[in-house]
Amino acid sequence: MALYLDLIRWNRPVGWLLPLWPTLAALWIASAQTNQALPSLHLLVVFTLGTFLMRSAGCCVNDAADKDFDVHVKRTANRAVASGKLSQFEAVAAGVVLAFLAFLLVLTTNTATIAWSFAALAIAIAYPFAKRFIAMPQAVLGVAFSFGIPMAFAAVQGHVSMLAWLLLLGNLFWVLAYDTEYAMVDRDDDLKIGMKTSAITLGRFDVMGIMLFYILYLSIWHWLIVCSPYQLKLSSPMLWYAALAVACGQVVWHFLLIRQRERMSCFKAFRVNHWLGFTLFAGVALAL
């Protein structure tokens, strides 16, 4: 059992908190558009547990797909599959079980959400292989980690509006930011084994690129919530602006962490990113 807990990164919750916060924010926004004060408890349970299960399933598939690469990377060489403690078959089988459990949760929602769940699964499976062919595979991860947004809208409203897709676009830039920080940790090893990452593609513009991604993320979400034709009726606008100010402060902190490109500082920047997601979620939930 310990090996399987290690496989799904049980002791590293940041991996499922990162996709959880934008998903919950989308639930609040979609509910507000239908004049509901709060999302239903049912949907909160479905999307919280579903996010955890799908992230865990993704780890299983990722480790099985990357077995021959992980063994050459300092940070991943001791993972259960890379070290031979679990076979690729066992990892994939665990991933299938976890994805099936997530699908059972989706079956308690509506037809639109069930239909979109297949697209979410396909993108999650595609990500580990994108690292072999795409110069910035973090963009694929960005879609995978943001797909809870359109699914939340589908669950609440029965369809996916343009607002949901634009929120996904903004969130994609956040994923690009934090996963590039993550990729900076392994850049030397990835160069040796021929893995493609945004940190390698951006090269000496990596820090500048990350800052641009953060700015785009915050700007798009702010515009959608306050200034766009989809303007939401905020009951407490100042709480949103306060959350935005805190988020901007965190972005400055990230710049200070990564500007020297030191391995452990970049890893710390990645690990604390869930606080940025929580800040925007809190701003949405309190302001609506």
Range of the domain at 166: 2-29+40-287
Stretch 16-32: mean pLDDT: 96
Look at residue 83 and tell me if it is in a domain. Answer: yes
pLDDT score at 128: 81
Look at residue 273 and tell me if it is in a domain. Answer: yes
DSSP structural state of residue 262: -
What separation in angstroms does the CA of 202 have from each of 61, 151, 270?
Answer: 27, 31, 17
pLDDT score at 195: 81
Within 133-236, where are the H helices? 138-146, 148-157, 162-185, 187-193, 198-202, 206-222
CATH number for the domain spanning 114: value is 1.10.357.140
47: nearest Cα among 113, 122, 115: 113
Q: How many helices and strands, by DSSP H and E, does the chain display?
A: 15, 0
Specify the length of the chain in residues. Answer: 288
Give the span between the Cα atoms of 159 and 215, in whole angstroms: 29
| Most distant CA pair in the chain, distance | 54
Give the span between the Cα atoms of 169 and 122, in whole angstroms: 18
Look at residue 35 and tell me if it is in a domain. Answer: no
Name the band, by pLDDT with cuts 50, 70 and 90, for residue 30. very high
Q: Which two tokens stand for residue 126?
A: 């595609």
Give the span between the Cα atoms of 213 and 198, in whole angstroms: 12
**Crossing angle of helices 148-157 and 14-33, rounded to 10°:** 30
Q: How many domains does the structure of the chain reveal?
A: 1
140 burial via Cβ count (<10 Å: 0-12, 13-18, 19+):
buried
Q: Which two tokens stand for residue 254?
A: 């990230």
Stretch 72-83: mean pLDDT: 77
CB neighbour list of residue 254: distance below 8 Å, 6 or more residues apart: 177, 181, 210, 214, 269, 273
Average pLDDT, the chain: 91
Among 25-29, 195-199, 226-230, the minimum mean pLDDT is found in 226-230
**171 pLDDT above the threshold of 90:** yes
Look at residue 104 and tell me if it is in a domain. Answer: yes
pLDDT score at 145: 94
**131 pLDDT above the threshold of 80:** no
**53 pLDDT above the threshold of 90:** yes
Look at residue 34 and tell me if it is in a domain. Answer: no
Look at residue 49 and tell me if it is in a domain. Answer: yes
**77 pLDDT above the threshold of 80:** no
Of all residues in the chain, what percent carry a pLDDT higher than 90? 66
